[in-house]
Amino acid sequence: MTILVTGGLGFIGSHTVVALIEEGFKVVIADNLSNSSLEVLSSLEDITKENIPFHEIDIADEKVVISLFEEYDFNGVIHFAGYKAVGESVSEPIKYYRNNLLTTLTLADVCKKYGVTKFIFSSSATVYGDNNVPFDETMQLLPTTNPYGETKAICERILTDLANANTDFEVALLRYFNPIGAHPSAVIGELPKGIPNNLMPYITQVAKGNLKELQIFGDDYPTQDGTGVRDYIHVMDLAEGHVAALKNITTGVHIYNLGTGQGTSVLEIVKTFESVNNIKIPYKIVDRRSGDIAFSYADVSKAKKELNWSAKRNLENMCRDSWNFIQAL
Ligand code: NAD
Ligand code: UFG
């Protein structure tokens, strides 16, 4: 099976490429390098010992996507390409709506024209908004507080309508919780440009001495210790979830949470990171970040039952692998 991986040089896409090749899939990567670099391609080739076809293209550009589908006989697509910075989506909403919607519309349209009916989409737990935890796939989606989240909800809707109108389509909408960690080789991982917005990339920069201290956004939530609770998942587990979805997908639209089902607070992450890596992380408590919710964690029973997939790596693995990647840079 040949799978097109859009955004395949990004954080989650690159780890998924490794998991796919390990399972015998052939992979073609398309990425415009807007948030990644070509070095990731050579790291992927080092890890997998394979030459991986790569095309530097914009997935929103219909002409070039058509040429790609003329060149290869794809059996399915995994669509990671998109922008993901929540804060930036608030200040530059059009940029987010344009890229996230146009990439999805273009790719879905070309898939339809070429009869490529397996379509796996990167959605996000953010579409649950402030529902009660654990979030399960049947919940009504609540408005998110940012344009990024809206793009995910709209793309889910577009792909659902496509599959309703074309009953041969097999669509998986994968709602990721909080991916952290890195490949155990420490040659691929997450390295955001500029000052990180997300917790683990911030912690690793503090550990490295590039940032003075972690700011913890609020300790007055109704959680175990007052700090925000999230469902952190090792990126290799997440990657393997995509392989499981590809292998088990059937016609129609199927929504799966990809998380661990465990809620961990910010302070618990900090303590685990400190003890696993033997490094002190200085922090101070500051005001809540606007748009944050107290709890986000998944009900993971559907993915377990239907995809025969569940996360295997624990928080210690996640903290160790995140740090090993940053340390090795
Ligand atoms: P990332 O930014 O590391 O990877 C996205 C990749 O897509 C990048 O390599 C970028 O260069 C590429 N890209 C962006 N626009 C493109 C375009 N128009 N054409 C071709 N390539 C393009 O992000 P990630 O963390 O790997 O996330 C992958 C997907 O998963 C995104 O859709 C993101 O919204 C979604 N997601 C991420 C998280 C998370 O916490 N990381 C959580 C939920 C959902
Ligand atoms: N946090 C801090 N300090 C920081 C960064 C984060 O205290 O410097 C806290 C947040 O307040 C939150 C927790 O750490 O309680 C996690 O925050 P992240 O920014 O790492 O992750 P979020 O859950 O806010 O959002 C992330 C992605 C979204 C995605 C969502 C669900 O940024 O795009 O996970 O997958 F939708």
Binding pocket residue ranges, ligand 2, CB within 6 Å: 84, 86, 124-126, 176-178, 197-199, 202, 214-217, 228, 230, 266, 289, 292, 296
Q: Where are the domains of the chain?
A: 2-180+232-260+298-312
Q: Cα–Cα distances in Å, from 65 out to 7, 15, 60, 245, 302?
A: 13, 23, 8, 24, 33
Q: 128, 148, 202, 297: which is the annotated catalytic residue?
A: 148
- Give the pLDDT confidence score for residue 192 in this predicted structure: 87
pLDDT digits 0-9 by tens, 212-245: 999 999 999 999 999 999 999 999 999 999 999 9
Q: How many whole angstroms separate alpha carbon 111 and alpha carbon 60?
A: 13
Q: pLDDT tens for the chain, 329 residues: list them.
A: 999 999 999 999 999 999 999 999 999 999 999 999 999 999 999 999 999 999 999 999 999 999 999 999 999 999 999 999 999 999 999 999 999 999 999 999 999 999 999 999 999 999 999 999 999 999 999 988 899 999 999 999 999 999 999 999 999 999 999 999 999 999 999 988 889 999 999 999 999 999 999 999 999 999 999 999 999 999 999 999 999 999 999 999 999 999 999 999 999 999 999 999 999 999 999 999 999 999 999 999 999 999 999 999 999 999 999 999 999 99
Probe ligand 1: pick from 11, 64, 127, 325, max atoms within 8 Å of CB? 11
Query: What's the DSSP call for residue 134?
Result: S
Q: Residue 112 has which token pair?
A: 């339809």
State the pTM of this model. Answer: 0.98
- Atom of ligand 2 at shortest distance to CA of 217? 7
> CATH homologous superfamily for 2-180+232-260+298-312?
NAD(P)-binding Rossmann-like Domain (3.40.50.720)
Tell me if residue 148 is catalytic.
yes
